[in-house]
């Protein structure tokens, strides 16, 4: 800020000097009866004025136009929804790291192209993309985003009964949601996904769960979710894309899905998060039919619970879940497989009503 001030001051001095000298020159010329050209001196002063105006303009222009912006931080404050860092910020990483993060993001968006049944790198998964469930490459508010991943893992999870690393959590989605196998933890693909998740978490303090991260929790219905009502919702609002038989539609390249399957052999298996009604209902309420958002939902909560019940009552791949939930009392209320630490039947743990189960737990 001091340099422009000095220029401004110097220009002012020059201007005053020119004005005084010109005045004197004019008076002296008149007295001596010599010709005097006032235009020449006016031009010189106008030039000095222009320099002053230019300097002033620079001083009042917002300075971030000239200065480098601050280092990578998430576009997130305590009371706003998390949207992830701007991809423009990727340029700030060193070349090698930037390439790794970009590849990780690419793998989230186009998983099947690289790792699906016709994958160009390996054939590990069912043909779905991570992004089918983690919308906008895992950055959409309440779109099952990755906002709380890097800041909260490793953490203890009841499903495995262990302290889970990010690698373990990513591997779980490969094995359950993508019904396949995960790349080895040292593989370039796994490293790239980790680099992307780490980059997404930049600026978030350890332990924070930003607002809008993951899937929203809907209020429980006061009845069981109804598969018959759900089937009607499905036909009216979902079948146009996911098809009446739930198998989705392959994209033109034949490698990935234009509309992913919701049940059947190419869908997520019974160990996946979406197989729990609360996860499914919370996801679709804020994101489906395609184009819906948490602010402009197109389903009522009841429709979301009912369609979740219908879709999760269809046939899908199984998985051996015998080592899940080693502490039986740690199972969520909507885990659809016994044994349970309470006396509510399996059917109620799958379809509800869930409130009585939750209340009974609170009393314990």
Binding site for ligand HEC (CB under 6 A): 111, 128-135, 144, 146, 148-149, 169-170, 173-174, 177-178, 193, 214-215, 237-238, 240-242, 259-262, 268, 272-274, 279, 283-284, 288-290, 299, 307
Minimum CB distance to ligand HEC, residue 220 (Å): 16
Nearer to ligand HEC, 48 or 233 (CB): 233
Minimum CB distance to ligand HEC, residue 134 (Å): 6
Nearer to ligand HEC, 141 or 214 (CB): 214
The whole-angstrom separation of Cα 359 and Cα 364 is 9
* Length of the chain in terms of residues written: 364
Nearer to ligand HEC, 55 or 110 (CB): 110
Nearer to ligand HEC, 204 or 288 (CB): 288
Nearer to ligand HEC, 4 or 117 (CB): 117
CB-based contacts of 322: which residues, under 8 Å, 6+ apart? none
Compute and round to an integer the Cα radius of gyration of the chain: 32
Q: Residue 285 to residues 174, 217, 302: CA-CA distances in angstroms?
A: 24, 10, 9
Q: Which of 156, 159, 278, 142 is nearest to 216 (CA)?
A: 142
Minimum CB distance to ligand HEC, residue 136 (Å): 7
CB-based contacts of 364: which residues, under 8 Å, 6+ apart? none
Exposed / middle / buried, residue 180 (Cβ in 10 Å: 0-12, 13-18, 19+): buried
Nearer to ligand HEC, 52 or 128 (CB): 128
Minimum CB distance to ligand HEC, residue 327 (Å): 18
Minimum CB distance to ligand HEC, residue 322 (Å): 21
Minimum CB distance to ligand HEC, residue 4 (Å): 49
Minimum CB distance to ligand HEC, residue 185 (Å): 13
Residue in this structure with the two tokens 């009371």, named with its chain if needed: 79
DSSP helix/strand/coil, 331: coil
44: left (phi over 0), alpha (psi -120 to 50) or beta: alpha
The whole-angstrom separation of Cα 293 and Cα 63 is 36
Nearer to ligand HEC, 279 or 335 (CB): 279
The whole-angstrom separation of Cα 32 and Cα 21 is 16
Indicate the DSSP class of residue 103.
H
């Amino acid at each position: 800020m001091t340099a422009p001030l000095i220029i401004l001051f110097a220009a002012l001095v020059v201007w005053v000097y020119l004005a005084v000298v010109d005045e004197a020159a004019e008076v002296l010329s008149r007295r001596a009866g010599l010709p005097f050209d006032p235009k020449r001196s006016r031009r010189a002063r106008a030039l000095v004025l222009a320099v002053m105006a230019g300097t002033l303009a620079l001083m009042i222009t917002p300075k971030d136009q000239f200065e480098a912006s601050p280092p990578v931080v998430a576009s997130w404050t305590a009371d706003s929804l998390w949207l992830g860092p701007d991809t423009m910020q990727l340029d700030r990483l060193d070349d090698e790291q930037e390439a790794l993060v970009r590849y990780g993001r690419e793998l989230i968006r186009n998983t099947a192209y690289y790792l699906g049944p016709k994958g160009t790198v390996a054939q590990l998964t069912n043909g779905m993309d991570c992004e089918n469930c983690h919308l906008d490459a895992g950055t959409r508010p309440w779109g099952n985003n990755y906002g709380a991943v890097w800041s909260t893992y490793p953490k203890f999870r009841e499903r495995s009964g262990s302290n889970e690393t990010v690698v373990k959590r990513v591997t779980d989605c490969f094995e359950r949601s993508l019904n396949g196998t995960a790349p080895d933890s040292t593989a370039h693909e796994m490293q790239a996904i980790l680099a992307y998740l780490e980059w997404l978490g930049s600026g978030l303090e350890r332990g924070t769960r930003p607002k809008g991260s993951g899937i929203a929790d809907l209020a429980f219905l006061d009845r069981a979710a109804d598969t018959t009502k759900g089937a009607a919702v499905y036909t009216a609002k979902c079948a146009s894309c996911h098809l009446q038989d739930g198998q989705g539609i392959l994209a033109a390249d034949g490698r990935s899905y234009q509309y992913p399957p919701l049940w059947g052999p190419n869908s997520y298996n019974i160990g996946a998060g979406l197989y729990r009604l609360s996860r499914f209902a919370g996801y679709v309420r804020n994101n489906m039919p395609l184009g819906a958002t948490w602010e402009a939902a197109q389903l009522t909560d009841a429709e979301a619970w009912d369609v979740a019940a219908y879709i999760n009552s269809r046939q899908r791949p199984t998985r051996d879940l015998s080592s899940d939930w080693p502490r039986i009392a740690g199972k969520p209320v909507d885990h659809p497989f016994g044994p349970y630490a309470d006396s509510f039947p399996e059917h109620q743990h799958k379809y509800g009503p869930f409130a009585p189960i939750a209340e009974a737990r609170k009393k314990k």
